[in-house]
Amino acid sequence: MKHILSIFLLSFLCFSCQKESASPTEVAYPERPNILWIVNEDMSPEHLGAYGGTGGKTPVLDSLAKAGVMFTNAFSTAGVCAPSRAALITGAYQTSIGAMHMRTVGMSKGNESAYPPDHKSYSAMIPEGMHGYPEYLRMAGYYTSNNVKEDFQFVAPGTMWDESSNTAHWRNRKDPNQPFFSIFNYTITHESQVWAREKEELLIDPADVTVPPVYPDDSITRRTLARFITNVMRFDAQVGELLQQLKDDGLYENTIIFYYSDHGDGMPYYKRELYDRGLRVPLFIKAPFIKAGSVDEQLVSFVDFGPTVLSLAGVKIPDNMQGQAFMGKQKSAPRKYIYAARDRMDSEVDRVRAVSDGRYKYIKNYMPEKPNYQNIRYRLSNPLMVHLLELHEQGKLDANQERWFDETKPDEELYDTQSDSYEFNNLAGNPDFADKLSELRQAHLKWIDDYGDLAAMPEMEMVNEWWGGADHAPITEPVQMRYEEGRVSLSSATKGASIGFKKSTTDVWSVYQVPFEMKAGDSLYVLAHRIGYEPSKDALILK
């Protein structure tokens, strides 16, 4: 017996019944560890004392590094947030799922100039049957929460999290014994905070900061860097407050704690670039099974984070995740290469790819006719960016600093990041490195062959294919119900759609996996949503 009454529209989703989802876990519920992710924005590792420091003090994070393992070769998949976060949440390279352009969701009246003239806002239509790793954790019984930011290049499904808001917290779960996975995103180190906090007190004397060779060593550079380092120091204190909450709850010792940044520094000639300074991130992991004070030099990519969390939680890693676990029972052999991509940045179109073996970095410029520096309006609020442009016009930058403003790029670049950490000396034309150039070039081509690269077609052409020529995304087919012998089965005609259900409008969407019991007179709200599609209408199903 079934009927469906449309009640109201919500942009939420839950999992469809997949064969592999009936038994998603490998360990018993009480054995699942709590997992906490601490994430800040726009920060390279060197600002932390554990990695050497640039003049500021970061005692909390340095202590966390000493309590666990510090990774020295962890990399984002892009030098900017949204594409990298798409890779984090799906465990797939953003270029393979159409989530590589910065950014896909968010164009609104008044900010059209931040996009190309023909741009339409869209959610990336990720492959059928691909879901964010938090949904798999929820299916395994975890309470999942995300505080402050998503930015996944698509509208996140309702079943992605138990809660995703500025107040999201492990403390909000109803059962204190339920294992949790919680993310806390900190924005104080974002590039925008350099100018937003320009008038706040500095915690470091500009004379004491380390000035990298990509910038001139002068008063404007030093003051801007001191502002950024001050923000890092304030972030460190914020982490201390969060860790104290964990300790107050008696959870610190037995919680697996990840700390990382969403990509390299937010400063000019760092952010958005595929040099290590734009890609390398700090990564500390503290857990009861990790030797305190250890260092891990293996290559780690953002696509590996989701599989690793599932591995640690005892959840089977889906076959469509492209990353590999670097911890847990499903740990893989160390990877040989990491990969990264740069595509449209706001209004400016480009296509650059990179592969690194940890020492040598290969960069392929698919649009070499374009300059390295692009006129991205957003970062013109940074006083250091304005200063660099003025010095460029005056001819006062040195050769390495001026290189950013070259009118064209080479087809290929090759760097020894061990001896040339700022990647100034292009070895692509040096015959002594011909073999390494060929090796990394082939690794790049194999990566594209293995996973695809949707940026090979124009962005709006890709979207047009997804939408079948319509002017909007397709709509997920509504949920259908079968009710037999007191059990409810749910389905949607849209392949790969996720299905959610709840018994009242105030409940959180539960993830549908297998048929479940319902009593006479119960109400059931349902919703279907495939990522990249519009969700179906939230509906009340009455028995």
Identify the CA nearest to 222 among candidates 237, 236, 202, 193: 202
- Among 50, 80, 46, CA closest to 225: 46
> Looking at this protein, which amino acid is placed at residue 494?
T
Q: Which residues pair with 211 in a beta bridge?
A: none
Two tokens, residue 191 = 């590039």
Distance of alpha carbon 267 from alpha carbon 246, whole angstroms: 32
Tell me: cis bond preceding 272? Omega within 30 of 0 counts.
Answer: no
Handedness of CA 127, 452, 311, 88 (dihedral sign): negative
CB burial string 195-226: b at 16+ within 10 A, e below? bebeeeeebbebeebeebebbbeeebbbebbb
Backbone CA torsion sign across 264, 167, 94, 35: positive
Query: Which token pair is 380?
Result: 């013109």
DSSP helix/strand/coil, 388: helix
Rounded to 10 deg, the angle between the 59-67 and 219-248 helix axes is 50
Q: Which residues are catalytic?
A: 81
Report which residue type is found at 52.
Answer: G
CA-CA distance, 62 to 204, in Å (whole number)? 18
* Side chain identity, residue 509: W
- Residues belonging to the chain: 543
| Chain centre to alpha carbon of residue 512 | 26
Residues whose CB is less than 8 angstroms from the CB of residue 114 and which lie 6 or more positions away in sequence, other chains included: 107, 346, 347, 377, 378
